[in-house]
Chains A and B, each alone.
Chain A
């Protein structure tokens, strides 16, 4: 089954404690991205990757890092989380960079930073 898998689904942690949210897709997609979803603001892109070793900032990259060492994996790293990063996070992938390509989303990771 084609899917995007995120882990963990839920995490409560404290300010400053580094964390990583993993994302894996099994569709051999070139393009992957991370979004955060906040009430009234919709989905805002954090980082995206057009292919292995190619990453770039989205609209709200501050406080986040990513890496793309393999095609299937695109982890999101919060080196020093802060309360304003409390949000619902989604990883997505699509076949390649292009506006008509449908995006496939994971089921989300709800992060609470205390």
Chain B
């Protein structure tokens, strides 16, 4: 069982649609990070959320950290083909500095 469960595992949508992907755990995290990975490349950090209930926006991407700091969501508005990629959440459980990754959500946005 993964420490961080991401859902859905796969998502295929049309350009212009909205979507939300989730990252859930039974553990409390001091912070969570979201990365995007494109084929042939390593993951690239999108955002770090630190405070319970925090909402961060990055253009059309909105990241939220759950009040209890056990979960996070990523919402994309009006998805573009350029948003296609593998979205990974990662975090270190409270009291432990070893970063753990979820298995990822593979997003495909069709033109």
Contact = CB atoms under 8 A, between A and B. Distances in A.
Interface of A: 4, 35, 40-45, 48, 58, 90, 92, 97-100, 102-108
Contact of B43 (A43, A48, A58, A98): A43
B102 A105 contact: no
A44 B39 CA distance: 18
Interface of B: 2, 9, 29-31, 33, 40-45, 48, 50, 88, 90-92, 97-104
Given A40-B103, A42-B2, A99-B99, A107 B31 contact: no
A41 B9 CA distance: 11
A102 B33 contact: yes
A20 to B, nearest CB: 19
Contacts of A103: 33, 43, 45, 90, 99
Contacts of A106: 42
Contacts of B45: 102-104
Given A43-B101, A99-B92, A107 B40 contact: yes
B36 to A, nearest CB: 11
Contacts of B90: 43, 103
Contacts of B9: 40
Contacts of A90: 42-43
Contact of A92 (B2, B42, B88): B42
